Amino acid sequence: MGNSADIPKTTCVVFDCDGVLVDAVSSWRTLHDHFGTDNDFNLQRFIRGELTDVEFMRSDIRMWKDIQDPITRDELFRAYSGVKLMEGARHVVEQLQANGVFVAIVSAGVDLFVSSIASMLKVDDWIANGFIFNDDNTLSDEGICRLHAVGKNKIILRLLEMNNLDPQNCVSVGDSEMDLSMHVDGSRFIGFNPTRESSIAAFQSAGIPVIHSKDLRDILPHLKLE
Ligand SMILES: [Mg+2]
């Protein structure tokens, strides 16, 4: 692999966050683990398109509040304290930026968490979904939907336009079938460490390069930096 001679120069890399930049499949799941809840049923419904993003977030919050109410911002933040960066993530972002590549995170994960990863890795731009807090810093009942998990293309197109970047020079990296929406026309997509059965199958039939490792540095041979 890494036949980089005939691919366009990489000037923009867009990362999914959960399962790509961080070694945890879902920043929503981390909170379910924290509260001892399980949203697998609703996740499957969401993937099948039977729940909207907003409905899905609301049902997650409902589950946690059934266990504990109120929930503070600090507690949610602390729930992420055990989550680690993906092996090689820091190196890859540094290497890309040293080569003038624009680096962004487009995540349907939790903003509270994604923002801390974005500042830790000093990426150029980021967007995520997340929470609304009450005036006393307790969690409200509603999530905020800034992007649709299966509609990341809209955000990426806007990002490319805003930064005067060409889709041809853009590479997106994701770990789930929903991330295939990052594959905007003319750009390239790399599947990284898919874990769900459905993600592995979707990547296989999408005819895209897939990296089965947990070291983000393994994407570098698929990029063209100079
Ligand atoms: Mg992911």
- The mean per-residue pLDDT over the stretch 98-111 comes to 97
| pLDDT (0 to 100) of residue 3 | 54
Strands 139-144 and 102-110: unpaired
In this prediction, residue 160 has a pLDDT band, given cuts at 50, 70 and 90, of very high
C-alpha of residue 222 to centroid of ligand 1, in Å = 19
Sorted by where each begins, the domain ranges of the chain are 4-222
C-alpha of residue 136 to centroid of ligand 1, in Å = 31
C-alpha of residue 135 to centroid of ligand 1, in Å = 31
The CA R_g of the chain, rounded to the nearest whole Å, is: 17
C-alpha of residue 104 to centroid of ligand 1, in Å = 14
C-alpha of residue 24 to centroid of ligand 1, in Å = 8
- The mean per-residue pLDDT over the stretch 107-117 comes to 96
What tens digit of pLDDT does each residue of 62-85 get? 999 999 999 999 999 999 999 999
C-alpha of residue 56 to centroid of ligand 1, in Å = 16
C-alpha of residue 73 to centroid of ligand 1, in Å = 23
| pLDDT (0 to 100) of residue 2 | 47
| CATH match of 4-222 with 3.40.1790.10 | no
Q: Are 181 and 209 in contact (CB under 8 A)?
A: no
In this prediction, residue 25 has a pLDDT band, given cuts at 50, 70 and 90, of confident
- The mean per-residue pLDDT over the stretch 127-153 comes to 95
C-alpha of residue 79 to centroid of ligand 1, in Å = 18
C-alpha of residue 160 to centroid of ligand 1, in Å = 21
C-alpha of residue 174 to centroid of ligand 1, in Å = 6
C-alpha of residue 86 to centroid of ligand 1, in Å = 12
C-alpha of residue 43 to centroid of ligand 1, in Å = 13
Q: Are 22 and 83 in contact (CB under 8 A)?
A: yes
C-alpha of residue 25 to centroid of ligand 1, in Å = 6
Distance CA 57, CA 51 (A): 10
Q: Are 102 and 11 in contact (CB under 8 A)?
A: yes
